[in-house]
Structure 1
Amino acid sequence: MKTLIKHGTIVTAADEYRADLLIDGATIALIGTDLERSLADRVIDADGLYVLPGGVDNHTHLDMPWRGVRTIDDFFTGQRAALFGGTTTHVDFSTQSKGGTLKGAVAEWSANAKEKAVCDYGFHVAITDLTDAVMQEIAELPAIGVTSIKMFMAYKDSLQVDDMTLFKSFQMAAKHGVLSLVHAENGDAIEVLITEALAAGNTDPIYHALTRPPALEAEATNRAIRLAEVAGNAPLFVVHCTCTGALEAVAAARQRG
């Protein structure tokens, strides 16, 4: 099916200009002025409107089980909301169960999404239990369309991995062109602070922040970066960087190349 969008203001990364745009299936086929309506099966008059590329959200958690509950949006409601906001592609997280496989996690999340999806999506896969077999799976992930792995340095006794898992995963990812993502916080220290806060009866929402101080994010960010460097300069993406110390560690790593 061919769709012609006429009279809109096209916005790119470099500039904006008024033009017509012809789409053939899922491909931009032609950009020009005064394109003939006969070129298309469907014509949209975008006079006074912006024509933008669809947004890409590379970090979502749809229909995710977590400590006895699930995140509120499933793949239909979450994607519907994304489309209303102009996001047309997102990358969700398939999480390995303890004793499970990475491919099994991807298959499980894919099956959950397949019947509900209304926009484009992909998956990262989160490693929680690294074995020799799982190490080999990292090398095989690109063949099934997954090019990124994630490790949590926090959430002790559920998602958190140790430094050996982190380092060995970085090594394998570096060898096979896989991007490593980390949730960078010092989970062990956070667990101590949480235990102390609960013992003192400090359960107000502010204690969520006070038990996860910026210094522990900065420390974990720097540790992940240094491990990735030693592991063969493994490409590393530090997700949701929230404090100055972590940002400075990332900036310094970029300067080092």
Structure 2
Amino acid sequence: MPILIRGGTVVNADCSARADVYIEDGIIKAVGLDLDIPSDAEIIDAGGQYVMPGGIDPHTHMQLPFMGTVASEDFYTGTAAGLAGGTTMIIDFVIPSPQQSLMEAYDTWRGWAEKACSDYSFHVAVTWWDDSVHEDMQTLVEHEGVNSFKHFMAYKNAIMAEDETLYNSFSRALELGAMPTVHAENGEMVFQLQQKLLKMGMTGPEAHPLSRPPAAEGEAANRAIRLAEVIGVPLYLVHVSTEDALQEIAVARARGQRVYGEALAGHLLIDESVYRDPDFATAAAHVMSPPFREKHHQDALWKGLQNGSLQTTATDHCCFCANQKAAGKDDFSKIPNGTAGVEDRLAILWTYGVGTGKLTMEEFVAITSTNTARIFNIYPRKGVIRSGADADIVIWDPAAEKTISAKTHHQNVDFNIFEGRKVKGLPSHTISNGEIRYRQGALHTAPGTGRYIKRPAFAPAFHALEKIAKATAPKPVKRK
């Protein structure tokens, strides 16, 4: 059924204006005043509310097999929770095991994701290297619409990519017009610190942040950025949690390098004191990597979003319940890493960003939707309210309030890292593919109503960079 959103203020990343929005066949057909619409259109009164592009979460892990267990959130429950919070698309991660074919892993994740009820796409991790990986990357880019490849610089003896793999994969990404992304932590440093702390008798969650100090992130960020600089490929750093890594990004961007940074909603608000909670279950529930940091890092991350050093926000949504976290009761290094947040990201950023004056409404839209769409090459199909864009829309009620709680959230996990926080500003409606999927507190979802979104390669711009690199390459000296 056609829909007219009437009486609201449309907020895009570049401007805001009073306008109505007409939707038909899953597409935004018109934006303006006094629109000519069919008589059978459903009318949503958005008076006093903001009409914004649906959130895009560029970093989730639904149904992830990890550390001996499987994340409790699947692609249906996770995307439904996202819709309840105003997020209309996720970019999840295919993570092959070492020596596993990239295409085999990709096909597995595509099968799991068929139950998604909002749109989704994938980054694919490169965890090892040989000629088959080289070929699979091309297949993924050219036939499956994957334009980003993830590299874990942490998790030694599991999925960590060594420098040789990074070099080969970054170089191949440049050839294909794809974006390398990295989890920047020095895996060897983390491993050695974990062993040291365990030998000292520190087995609880309080040791987790000590084993992953800010320097481990700063060093890895610098190494990845410098490698990308030498190869000539753009780079995206996920879940930047420290001032150390942020400074590396800022310096690289100042010298003209195309480097992007992502901040997690949790890292903006929560500090490392949570790991010293006397209740093991509560402390363990916060174990994720990189860990929550000392408070001064939060201030730096907010400033990074304000000054443009960081461009996107995400959640790293990866849920494990208390019985799963208990696997590390006697060894913190065995606590499954991950926390939730896909439902709460927009409300948290509005309340503590827009609501405190740290962000404008337009900046909120940029860091929750538009910038992700631009960086991963799906703009203006996604990330904007304009004629021709997908009708992925959140109608935002700035006066609505609630207290976040695991007892009332839609996420399939028994703990919420934002438990007890009051937020002001919530979705009244979430529209996905032109259908109202969340209305005034009630979800209207069904498995399989989401679509896989292909993301085109960045070939023209990347090939120009490759030509520059070749043109400036040193020439051999001719000798007699």
Residues 1:121 and 2:120 are matched in the alignment: yes
The answer (yes or no) to whether the contact 1:22–1:40 under 8 Å persists in 2 is no
List per-residue Cα deviations over 1:113-132 (Å, max 9, x = no partner): 10x21000000001112111
Which runs of no fewer than 5 residues in structure 1 stay unpaired?
A: none
- Could you list the per-position Cα deviations for residues 71-129 of structure 1 after superposition, in whole angstroms to 9, with x for gaps in the alignment? 22111111111111111011000111222211211111010010x21000000001112
Match in the other structure for 1:47: 47
- After TM superposition, list the pairs within 5 Å mapping 1:100-119 onto structure 2: 100-114=100-114, 116-119=115-118
Question: 1:234, CA displacement in angstroms?
Answer: 1.2
8 Å contact from structure 2 (residues 10, 18) kept in 1: yes
Per-residue CA deviations over 1:132-189 (Å, capped at 9, x if unaligned) read 1111222222221111101101001111011000011011101110100111111111
Runs of at least 4 residues off by over 3 Å: none
Q: How does 1:1-257 map to 2 (within 5 A)?
A: 1-36=1-36, 38=38, 40-114=40-114, 116-143=115-142, 144-231=144-231, 233-257=232-256
Tell me how far apart the structure 1 counterparts of residues 219 and 90 of structure 2 sit (CA, whole Å): 29
Partner of 2:358: none
TM-score when scaled to structure 1?
0.94
Q: Distance in 2 between matches of 1:106 and 1:59?
A: 16
When the two structures are aligned, how many residues end up with a matched partner? 255
Contact 1:95–1:105 under 8 Å retained in 2: yes
Per mean C-alpha deviation after superposition, the further-off stretch among 130-139 and 153-162 is 130-139
**Contact 1:173–1:179 under 8 Å retained in 2:** yes
- SS at 1:52 equivalent: strand
1:4–1:40 CA contact under 8 A, matched in 2: no
Does structure 2 conserve the Cα–Cα contact (< 8 Å) formed by 1:125 and 1:150? yes
Provide the C-alpha distance between the structure 2 equivalents of 1:221 and 1:65, rounded to a whole number of angstroms.
Answer: 26
Q: Percent identity?
A: 45
Question: Which range moves more in the overlay, 24-33 or 34-43?
Answer: 34-43
User: Compared with structure 1, are the counterparts of its residues 181 and 227 closer, same or farther at alpha carbon in structure 2 (3 Å cutoff)?
Assistant: same
2:138, 2:37 → 1: CA distance?
Answer: 49
TM-superposed CA distance for 1:16, in Å, is 2.5
Call closer, same or farther: CA 1:163–1:5 in 2, change over 3 Å. Answer: same
Counterpart of 1:204 in structure 2: which amino acid? G
- Residue type of the alignment partner of 1:230: V
Instruction: Give the deviation of 1:12 after TM superposition.
Output: 1.5
SS in 1 for 2:19: strand
Q: Deviations over 1:212-231 (max 9, x none)?
A: 11111111110111111112
Residues of 1 paired with 2:225 and 2:138: CA distance?
21
Once the two structures are TM-superposed, the CA of residue 36 in structure 1 deviates from its matched residue by 4.5
Give the Cα–Cα distance (whole angstroms) in 1 for the partners of residues 188 and 6 of structure 2. Answer: 57
Q: Is the partner of 2:156 in helix, strand or coil? A: coil
1:256 Cα deviation after fit: 2.0
Tell me whether 67-76 or 189-198 shows the greater mean CA deviation: 67-76
**RMSD (CA atoms):** 1.4
Q: Is the 8 A contact 2:5 2:21 kept in 1?
A: yes
Note the C-alpha offset of 1:15.
Answer: 2.9
Amino acid corresponding to residue 129 of structure 2 in structure 1: L
Following superposition, the deviation at residue 23 of structure 1 comes to: 0.9
Secondary structure of the residue aligned to 2:192 is: helix
Task: Report the TM-score, using the length of structure 2 for normalisation.
Answer: 0.52
Higher relative contact order (CA 8 A, sep 6+): 2
Q: Secondary structure at the match of 2:7?
A: strand
Contact (CA 8 Å) 1:37, 1:43: kept in 2 or not?
no
CA distance in 2, matches of 1:46, 1:36: 18
C-alpha separation between the residues in 2 aligned to 1:153 and 1:32? Answer: 48
- Given that residues 22 and 37 in structure 2 are in contact (C-alpha distance below 8 angstroms), is that contact kept between their aligned partners in structure 1? no
Query: Residue 39 of structure 1: CA displacement?
Result: 5.3
Where 1:223 maps in the other structure, the secondary structure is helix
